[in-house]
Amino acid sequence: MNTGILYAALAFFLWGLFPLYFHAIGEVPPLEILAHRMLWSLLFLALVLTVRSQWRWLPQVLRRPRVVASFAASAVLLTANWFFYIWAVKNGHVLDASLGYFINPLINVLLGLLVLKEKLRRGQWLAIGLAALGVAWLTWQAGQPPYIALVLGLTFGGYGLLRKTAALAALEGLAFETIILFPLALAYVLWLGAHGQNTFINAPDDGTRWLLAAAGPITAVPLLLFAAGARRIPLSVLGMLQYMSPTMQMLLGLWIFHETFDPARLAGFVVIWSALGVYMAEGWWTSRQNLSAQAG
């Protein structure tokens, strides 16, 4: 259990540092970063799978069109999530990005209701209602909905929904998604090179090249740690740890990138944090009641 907590905490800690990485390659356009992230991730994952002799799943998956279609859809959602997150960080919206991952668990509950026809308990309805109130407040204060947070929350929630019933584990699933995305990423990088716009080639120093190449392990290592941790600890503990990443991102947005966080905006965040508190407390109470019923 302690090892599992360590693995999961390291994964969320590394994800929480992502804004620093994307800020360090600020001269690279978001779409090019996304393409390099796909290319180098596949290279890194291919090395890991080769070392582990773990390729036997691929021919079987390719013979199942429905599985391929499912992973193509999850790859599109993952790509959209990655792109909007990179764009948000590079354009001074780290706080909005962190909000997207704060509301993600509640979006997961809502998607479970709408798509999987799951029944919600009273506490879950209350949490969703509070979150909706917080989003409405932020919309009224800003004159527009918090689009970045909603897009990030919805794309990652949709991605999680597809992966919930996926036929592959985390490592193989991410590898297959990057295999699907690889031709598009490679074509875009080659197109940039043909037009003299490839930052990897044109960068004045090797630092940028190394940072782009590091996108592979930077993407894959936290996922592998997360998968290892998730197998060793209860889901309730994992759910508590997941708020480490958006909290770190929010603090980076405030302390490092000096984004504005006026009292009106803070009030909206507080309402959404209250919704998360209700959601976690309700889950804890329900699990305790179930354990008591089983013991009785």
pLDDT for residue 7 is more than 80: yes
Residue 26's φ and ψ, nearest 5 degrees, are -60, -25
Specify the pLDDT at position 168: 85
Residue 165 has pLDDT above 60, yes or no: yes
Instruction: Give the mean pLDDT of the chain.
Output: 88
User: pTM higher than 0.75 for the full model?
Assistant: yes
pLDDT at 1 over 60: no
Closest CA to 276 of 192, 153, 119, 140: 153
Q: Which of 60-69, 144-153, 275-284 has the lowest mean pLDDT?
A: 275-284
Give the HSE-up count for residue 208: Cα atoms under 13 Å, Cβ half-sphere: 16
Q: Give the pLDDT mean for 238-262.
A: 87
Instruction: Give the pLDDT of residue 292.
Output: 78
The answer to whether the beta carbons of residues 225 and 11 sit under 8 Å apart is yes
pLDDT at 18 over 80: yes
